[in-house]
Structures are given as C-alpha cells and as structure tokens.
Amino acid sequence: MIGLLRGVPAGLVVLACLLAPAFADSSPTEPEKFTLRYKFQPGETIRWNVVHRTMARTSVSGSTQTAETASISVKVWRVKEVKPDGSATFEHLVEDVDMRQELSGCNEVRYNSRTDKKPPPGFDDLAKAVGVPLTTVTLDAHGKILRRQRKPITCMVQNEGEITMPLPEEPVPIGHTWSFPHEVTVTGANGAMLKVKTVQTFTLRSVKTGVATIEVATRILTPIHDPAIESQLLQCESAGSVRFDVDAGRILSQQLDLDKHVVGFRGDASSVHYVNRFTEELLPPETRTARLPDASQAIQPR
C-alpha cells in the first residue's frame, strides 16, 4: 500500500482513508418489509358499511332491458374465540340492509330491514337472512379459511366465496405481489359444465402511518373465445384497492370496480354491458349505517 501511495500528497492520502469506509458501506440496503396479519380479540364485534351498486344492460334483437340494483348493509363479525396462533372463530352476519331494484318498464322496488315490517315480493329470503348468523368461520392470521359452517339459510350465502383478502405468509416489501387462484364453473355448449381458471393478485403499493394500500385485480386465465361463456364471467374481473390497518390487523376500506361489455352472447345482434362497484368501510364500534346512496351517485356505464 505504501509503495502505491509513494509520491501522492499527504493530504490526499488522509482524504482517501476517510472516504474509504463510506465507499465500503455504499452497497444497497435491503428494503423494509412489513408483516401483514389479521388480529382479533375475543368478544369483539367488528362492523363494516358495505355499498354495492350494479347496472346490467342487455340487448337482444333490438330490444334493450336495463336492471339496476343498489344496496347498503352492515356486515358484522362477532368474534367468539381467538387461539394463541392468531386464528379466530367468529359469526358472520348482515345486521341491516336497505336495498332497491329497478327494471326497465317496472316500478322501483325497495326494502329496508329496519323500517319495513313485511318485505315486498321476491325479498322474502333476503329478509330472513338479516340479523341472524349466516356462517361460523374459523380464519387464520393470513386470511385462510380453516373451517366454515353454513347456517340453513340459502340467501346471501351461496355466493359468498372467500370471506376476506388473503395475506402473504412472510413479511413483504413495497411492490411485492402475491396471488390467489380460483376456479369458476360455467355452462358450455349442450349444457356441459366447464371449469374456468381465474387468479386474484394483490400488490403492496405503500405503507403510510401504519396503513397499507394494496392494489387488487382479478383476471381470467383460461382462454375464452365464446361470447356466451364470456357473458357468464362478467362478474369475475374487477380491480381496485384495499386499505389495511397494519397495527390493528383489519381492513379499513376497499373499493372494487368492474365495467365489462360482451357482444354476440346470444347471436350477432346481442350485447350485455355490466357495471359494478363494491365499497366497504370499517365502522366505529356500535355505529350503524344511515341510508342508501342518492340516485345521483349511481354508477353509470362508460
């Protein structure tokens, strides 16, 4: 070393020695990782305000019909037991619902479980399912369903699917993506039942002041070339984001949107346009929702 530095001014030698540690430590640092886990307390009751709005416009041979629905409800989890590994058993129910439905050429139909003593025709099963446990679920800290016991109520339970967002097994950095595969059954030609593969992906976009923002998107993996089958999958593809409280271990809010148009599902002169928005927001303890969104807030097709 001394031989290499012979003839170099002493000041430069000292400067080089001082800077050497800085250059040695200049390698990239590993990005911060975040542990995402669901957390529950025995005996607690968790409520979310859920708003779901849909519009389906169907045209066949020059005749067009539009169906619009809007509902606002309170989703409730009553936690019964929490084990040392973080898995929790809770009852899942819908505490209140206010719903409206309108079809082309028909009067609007509404049902409010808090104010209507008798539901309108077609809403009987819905009314029976309000305020009573629909399922008893055991969920681990990653959101995986370990056990699910359905109650003898068909309405609102048949299509419940996954009850919450799955979380990654290990701590993850910003930008990390994880996925959840799923199969959907549709009816093909001649009544044959077909399995269609889908995948829901989750990407951690940011973590600020303890709140993680997670981007969500669902897409169909199986190639589909038949509009009749594609029309059955309209509700499968959606995209949006979820806000997750890292410290409290629960979803604060989410919004998922879908806008899909299929042509030729029942002949060349047919089309269906489906628009959907689903939002959910955590409520303070003992707080209940007030009313449906105003008609001016209804989703509109693009």
Query: For the residues 258-280, what does the mean pLDDT come to?
Result: 94
Tokens of 28: 């990239």
Half-sphere exposure of 3 (CA within 13 A, CB side): 0
The pLDDT-based confidence of 240 (bands split at 50, 70, 90) is very high
Q: What is the distance in angstroms between the CA of the first residue and the CA of the last residue of the chain? A: 72
- Greater model confidence, 7 or 248: 248
Query: For the residues 42-61, what does the mean pLDDT come to?
Result: 95
Query: For the residues 184-191, what does the mean pLDDT come to?
Result: 88
Tokens of 181: 């595969």
Most confident segment among 52-61, 115-124, 146-155 = 52-61
pLDDT at 25: 55
Query: pTM of the prediction?
Result: 0.83
The domains located in the chain, with CATH, are 36-285 (2.30.230)
Residue range 200-228, pLDDT digits in tens: 999 999 999 999 999 999 999 999 999 99
Please name the amino acid found at residue 163: I
Model confidence at 40: pLDDT above 60: yes
Distances (CA, A) of 102 to 60, 99, 112, 251: 19, 10, 15, 31
